[in-house]
Structure 1
Amino acid sequence: MGSRHGSTLKLANLFSNASKREPSPLLAVSLTKRITELGRHGQVDRAHHLFVQMPQRTQVSWNAMLSILIDSGRLASALELFDEMPKKNSTSYTSMITGLSRAGFVSRAWQLFDTIPLSVQNVFSWTSMITCYAYNSEPLQALIFFARCYAEFFELKILPNSHTFSVLLKSCVSIQSLHAAMQVQTLSVKVLEEDSESSTFVQNSLIDVHAKLGNLVDAEKVFDRMKFKDLGSWNTIMDAYTHHLLVNKALSVFNSMTSKDTLSWNIIMAGLSNNHRAEEALKLFICLLRSEDDSMPNASTYTIILTATTTMTMLEFGKQVHASTVKIGLYNSNVFVCNSLLSMYSNCGIVELTERVFKEMHHKDIVSWNSVIQGLGQNGCSKRALEIAEQALSANKFNHNTFTAILTSCSHGGLVDEGLKYFNSMSEIYGIEQGLDQYVCMVDMLGRAGKVEIALEMLCKMPFRANSVAWETLLSACVIHGNVNVGRIAAKELEILKPGNARSYYALASVYQKAGKAEESKRVLDLIWNKELRKNSGFSWVVEA
């Protein structure tokens, strides 16, 4: 408290002295550093107040304040400040395009880019506009924009850099075009020096492109031919192996690395967790905590480990991870970590802690709302789940998955009337068309309530064809309620979609057994062991009563 008060007094003295003489350039530098420091610590209002009081503002001062407003999400204020700037350089334009990009205002970003004088255009402003397209779900437009501008910028001696090529290669992945990626690679070889650090950065991106477009062999070739490999190279090839489910190869790379960073650990732990080897991921996490290198767990690490903990339903371990997030300051402040905690506690059936985590979150995204609704509904708290659902709908924090969570809660709670109301309100009130997931939820809800015929009618009237999950859901309801007629229909549809599926046979046999038709049940069970049936999946096996 004392040091902060002292800093305020020093600044006050500086302002006082400045008013008695010509503003000093050193004063502007000092105040700009202070503004930047305040912005870095989230004290945006104090930074802006200090900026307004500055007796003399440099271009660096204006750009610093602009960057602070953009980074804090105050786009309207940033635009006002941008308009007030007496002079703008490339940094000013690039920062503003970045801010518009983050907010999703692509057209406005392009309009601003188009006004940039050629004298201040550079590779950074160019790349920021390409990035704006790429990260706002317009990867093809990013590539088209680059191609259109290349000749003009080449004449201005403005050449793409490693970051430009990296964004372009990621755009190639998004549009699933290996041909476009190879063209970008060819150009990068011409523009960048082969042995330079920039070339290595692009080659790392190329490994990632090949791997994600299904061409692991060429990804390995790029890696093997690299004259210089940095840590990013090793991380990228390891990630390529996990992407192709070659976890043992990824582990081999990980163990051979002489140096590792947090990303290295995250890649291998996520790869193990995603390939049903969660226990190994947890052991590696413990090794990370005990490691003597500079690698430290970050938010992504805890998200990965909490997911693995959820898979293993290891509640006590999860609680220890939770305590660790509190200790290092990630709890409450990081929405991804908190969402993982919500999933972990709800999957372990701990409703009280699920609600507590949700209540204590400083920021909640749509995933947070969906997770708590789904978690409460699946754990027998359907009424409470719907109360929170109403809050989410009122706060405009909803999407398709929100209604899946709501309908699941209604299904588990036997709230048929409420479920029908929410299902109908999707398109009528909230502007979201019902999808297959929501229809399956309705079939499950109606089936649990014994309304099997109505569930069948809903399946038949869907605007798209039902999948195997929908028919399996209906068949399960027929097993519970012994509905032979609907059970036969569901079983026949399943035989078309999944020929020779033994689970369907057993389910139909159970339907007959439940309905007191022991002979028919036996005939279905006999068919399971019939060798001719196994050889010929087109055999009609639905027994007539």
Structure 2
Amino acid sequence: MDVLEDETTTDFLDLLGEEGLLQKRVIISYTKKIMELGKAGELKKAVKLFEEMPQRNQVSWNAMLTVLIESNQLDKARRLFYQEMPEFNPRSYTLMITGLSRFGFVDEARKVFDSVPIKEKNVVLWTAMLSCYTHNGNPILGLKLFARSYSHFSELLVIPNAHTFTIVLKACLDVRSLVTAMQIHGLAIKVLDGRSKDSVFVKNSLIDLHAKLGNLSDAEKIFSGIKWKDLSSWNIMMDGYMRHMLIDKAHGMFKAMGEKDTLSYNIMISGFAESGFGVDALELFLRLLKLQSSVKVKPNSSTYTIVLSVCATFTMLRFGVQIHASLFKCGILPGNIYIDNSLINMYARCGCIEETEQLFNDMPKRDVVSWNTLIVGLGQNGCARKALEVAEEVLKLGFYNGSTFVGLLTSCSHGGLVDKGMKYLTSMTSKYGIQPSIDHYNCVIDMLGRAGRLTEAYDLLWKMPLAPNAVTWAAILSASVVHSNKEIGEIAAHELRVLDPFNAANHMMLAKVYGGTGQMEKLWQTLGLMSKIGSKKGRGCSWILE
């Protein structure tokens, strides 16, 4: 309504005579009602009212275009824009670009952008086109557009604002270009000229970018240099510490924050969980539950998704069941697909396969994550054949992605269905158009190793078109332990010393190979090496199959 009110103020101040005043009041009344009906989801009524309008102006046409776009009626919005609207203003062009961007029609949006007359170009329109590129996976094109059009827009006295710079910095992050980001930073300082509100907005984006690109020290410098920090500044810096596993610094910042919101708690709970401190994560969640009665901060869907992931990772079934019950009490369930997926994962990880299937069957709506989670859950709980039945159904429906095959191959591995697994690997590219990733090859190597076909697994490792990682070699080493193959075991252990030198499990597996083959001297050497270099225990983790 803010944009509408601005336009009505601009268009209707200059009124001539009582008759003109009455006509303009009628147009304003109709237009506001159309917007209200659109926001209420009454699209047919809004269209009918628009068609009944005795007169229309530019604001009215833009209002109808807004309603159609917000109602996801792109084809009708196109017809209105291209065929029916008598004229356009900058708002019209921006609305159409935004609508096309939402549905991924980037080239068409660019044609609209290029068709805008010089006098109609403004910073909102420019930013909308940059945003279209960034949010549709074309960050390089967004950066090129900004670089090539900056001088042109400057000549028109169109200056980028804080939102423009934030979009461009997002593009820098997507292409992982710290050099370009620093150039944008310098330009932002010059253009914004220290305006506190706009400056904070951009600096928050810079903190996030530096932290995510591994340049934490500069992120800290930018944070320290902000005179008037807002809540987002604190949350972004805390998230940066979490990304670098600096749990103590993040926790110290959390405690020092004068104001916290739900995101603050979500960052901290998630950080505890990912760092292996499941109990701390749940304790903080319980503290948040107690706080919600006295402050406005309360758990949201993301909070519950994180907590259910903790319950799944640490197999805390009893706590997970309590969370499940509380979700009904607070009205979040039924119908939240993200939480439903997290519940399916939690019950599956805790071995409750009946509850897993029941939850899946009761879901009013499913996405590819729902199917993938069920397939993995069935496979990991000894129901490999049922998992494959579900997977075959998904493949027939065409509702699959690369993670579907990870779940499928994992099920074959746990069920000993080696030949089926090998056929699925072969058919991924030829039949389903998915190029196998290192995760798929790791599943197959694990499957072959479990079945005692260690030589085949080792051969596949060298033939696959991707470089093996620590997981690949760990699967080979594990199979070597089971089948007492010290030659391959030693090779795998050597590779793991380079890739993951402080992992206790790898050294312990090699020691078992030596112990199983009676090589006691090498056994004691390996155990002695463990004590010299120190070792770490791998954290538990949970796969989110997107």
TM-score by length of structure 1 reads: 0.84
Which residue in the other structure is 2:344 paired with? 342
Structure 2 residue aligned with 1:417: 419
For structure 1, which runs of at least 5 residues remain unmatched after alignment?
Answer: 1-21, 536-545
CA spacing shift, 1:445–1:217, aligned 2, 3 Å: closer
Give the superposition deviation at 1:114: 0.6
Contact 2:337 2:366 in 1 (8 A): yes
The residue correspondences of 1:54-203 to structure 2 (distance < 5 A) are: 54-83=53-82, 84-203=84-203
Q: Distance in 2 between matches of 1:451 and 1:408?
A: 16
Distance 1:225 1:511 in 2: 55
Q: Which amino acid aligns with 2:214?
A: G
Q: Distance in 2 between matches of 1:145 and 1:476?
A: 52
1:446 and 2:475 correspond: no
Change beyond 3 A, Cα 1:73–1:406: farther
Aligned counterparts of 2:104 and 2:465: Cα–Cα separation in 1: 32
Instruction: Name the counterpart of 1:361.
Output: 363
Note closer, same or farther for the CA distance 1:65–1:461 as it changes in structure 2 (3 Å cut): same
Aligned-residue offset at 1:513: 6.6
> Aligned residue for 1:489?
488
Find the aligned partners of 1:533 and 1:237 in 2 and give their Cα distance.
37
Identify if the C-alpha distance between structure 1 residues 434 and 230 changes in structure 2 by more than 3 Å, giving closer, same or farther: closer
Distance 2:247 2:445 in 1: 38
Tell me, what secondary structure is at the counterpart of 1:157? coil
Q: 1:154 to 1:37 in 2, by over 3 A?
A: same
The one-letter amino acid paired with 1:525 is L
| Residues 358 and 368 in structure 1, CA contact (< 8 A), matched pair in contact too | yes
Asked if structure 2 preserves the Cα contact closer than 8 Å seen for 1:459 and 1:466, the reply is yes
86-95 vs 465-474, which moves further: 465-474
Tell me: CA distance 1:384–1:169, structure 2 relative to 1, closer, same or farther (3 Å): same
- Decide whether the 8 Å contact of 2:58 with 2:88 is kept in 1: yes
Give 1:412 deviation, angstroms: 1.3
User: Aligned-pair distance for 1:44?
Assistant: 3.9
Matches within 5 A, 1:221-300: 221-291=221-291, 292-300=294-302
- Structure 2 residue 507 is the aligned partner of structure 1 residue 522: no
Distance 2:300 2:172 in 1: 29
Amino acid at match of 1:522: M
Contact 1:303 1:337 in 2 (8 A): yes
Change (3 A) 1:447 1:23: farther
Structure 1 residues 23 and 322: CA distance shift in structure 2, 3 A: farther
1:381–1:413 CA contact under 8 A, matched in 2:
yes
Task: Call closer, same or farther: CA 1:244–1:450 in 2, change over 3 Å.
Answer: closer
Asked if structure 1 preserves the Cα contact closer than 8 Å seen for 2:409 and 2:443, the reply is yes
In structure 1, distance between residues paired with 2:216 and 2:467? 35
> In the alignment, is the contact (CA less than 8 A) between 1:468 and 1:498 conserved in 2?
no
Given candidates 399, 408, 411, the residue that maps to 2:410 is 408
Maintained 8 Å contact 1:169/1:184: yes
Alpha-carbon spacing, 1:195–1:123, altered in 2? closer, same or farther (3 Å)? closer
Distance of 1:529 and 1:133 partners within structure 2: 55
Cα distance in 1 between the residues matched to 2:142 and 2:53: 40
Letter of the 1:440 partner, please give it: N
Superposed displacement of residue 527, structure 1: 3.5
Residue in 1 that maps onto 2:9: none
Shift of 1:213: 2.8
Q: 2: distance between equivalents of 1:461 and 1:326? A: 51
Identity of aligned residues (%): 48
The answer to whether the Cα contact below 8 Å between 1:279 and 1:312 also exists between their aligned partners in 2 is: no
Tell me, in whole angstroms, the C-alpha distance in 2 between the residues paired with 1:86 and 1:131: 27
Q: CA deviation at 1:530?
A: 6.1
User: How many residue pairs were aligned?
Assistant: 507
Segment drifting more, 220-229 vs 66-75: 66-75
Q: Kindly state the Cα deviation for residue 350 of structure 1 after the two structures are TM-superposed.
A: 1.8
Match of 1:444, as an amino acid?
Answer: D
Q: CA 1:271–1:457 in structure 2 vs 1: closer, same or farther (change >3 Å)?
A: closer
Shift of 1:408: 0.6
Cα deviation digits, residues 446-469 of structure 1 (max 9, x gap): 333333333333334323343343
Change (3 A) 1:490 1:431: farther
What amino acid sits opposite 1:344 in the alignment?
M
Give the partner amino acid of 1:399. Answer: N
Q: Summarize deviations over 1:102-150 as a string: whole Å, max 9, x none.
A: 3222222111111122232211110011111122222232222111111
**Contact 1:443/1:474 (<8 A) preserved:** yes
1:540 alignment partner in structure 2: none
Query: Contact 2:496 / 2:506 at 8 angstroms: preserved in 1?
Result: no
Query: Is residue 455 from structure 1 mapped to residue 457 from structure 2 by the alignment?
Result: yes
CA apart distance, 1:406: 0.5
Partner SS for 1:498: helix
Comparing 327-336 with 337-346, which one deviates more in the overlay?
A: 327-336
Partner deviation per Cα, 1:125-184 (whole Å, 9 max, x = no partner)? 100111111222222322221111111111211111111111112222222233322221
Provide the residue aligned with 2:15 in structure 1. Answer: none
The answer as to whether partners of 2:474 and 2:492 remain within 8 angstroms in 1 is: no
Measured after TM superposition, the shift of residue 262 of structure 1 is 2.0
For residue 526 of structure 1, report the CA deviation from its aligned partner.
3.7
Aligned alpha-carbon RMSD (Å):
2.9
Letter in 1 for 2:451: A
Distance across 1 between alignment mates of 2:318 and 2:115? 58
C-alpha distance 327-103 of structure 1, shift in aligned 2 (>3 A): farther
CA distance in 1, matches of 2:59, 2:326: 40
**AA partner of residue 394 (structure 2):** A
Whole-angstrom distance in 1 between the partners of 2:286 and 2:530: 53
SS at 1:440 equivalent: helix
Within 2, Cα distance between the matches of 1:120 and 1:161?
17
Deviation track 1:383-417 (CA, whole Å, cap 9, x = no partner) reads 22222212322332222211111011111122223
Change (3 A) 1:37 1:411: farther
CA distance in 2, matches of 1:496, 1:233: 42
CA contact (8 A) 2:477 2:493 kept: no
Please state how far the C-alpha of 1:296 moved relative to its aligned partner: 2.7
Q: How does 1:301-340 map to 2 (within 5 A)?
A: 301-340=303-342
What is the distance in 1 between the residues matched to 2:331 and 2:37? 20
CA distance, structure 2, for counterparts of residue 217 and residue 102 of structure 1:
36
**Counterparts of 1:15-26 in structure 2 under 5 Å?**
25-26=24-25
Supply the distance in 1 between the matched residues of 2:484 and 2:246 (Cα, whole angstroms).
45
Structure 1 residues 186 and 326 mapped into 2: Cα distance closer, same or farther (>3 Å)?
same
2:211 paired residue number: 211
Q: Distance in 1 between matches of 2:116 and 2:245?
A: 46
Q: CA deviation at 1:57?
A: 4.3
Q: Kindly tell me: are residues 327 and 93 of structure 1, through their superposed partners in 2, closer, same or farther at Cα, counting changes over 3 Å?
A: farther
Contact 2:239 2:250 in 1 (8 A): yes
Give deviations 1:5-30, integer Å, cap 9, x for gaps: xxxxxxxxxxxxxxxxx995545444
TM-score scaled by structure 2? 0.84
Structure 1 match to 2:12: none
Change (3 A) 1:31 1:368: farther
Alpha-carbon spacing, 1:488–1:400, altered in 2? closer, same or farther (3 Å): same
Q: What secondary structure, in the 3-state scheme, does the structure 1 residue paired with 2:258 have?
A: coil
Q: Structure 1 stretch 72-81 or stretch 40-49: which is displaced more?
A: 40-49
CA contact (8 A) 2:109 2:129 kept: yes
In structure 2, runs of 5+ residues without a counterpart are 1-20, 534-546
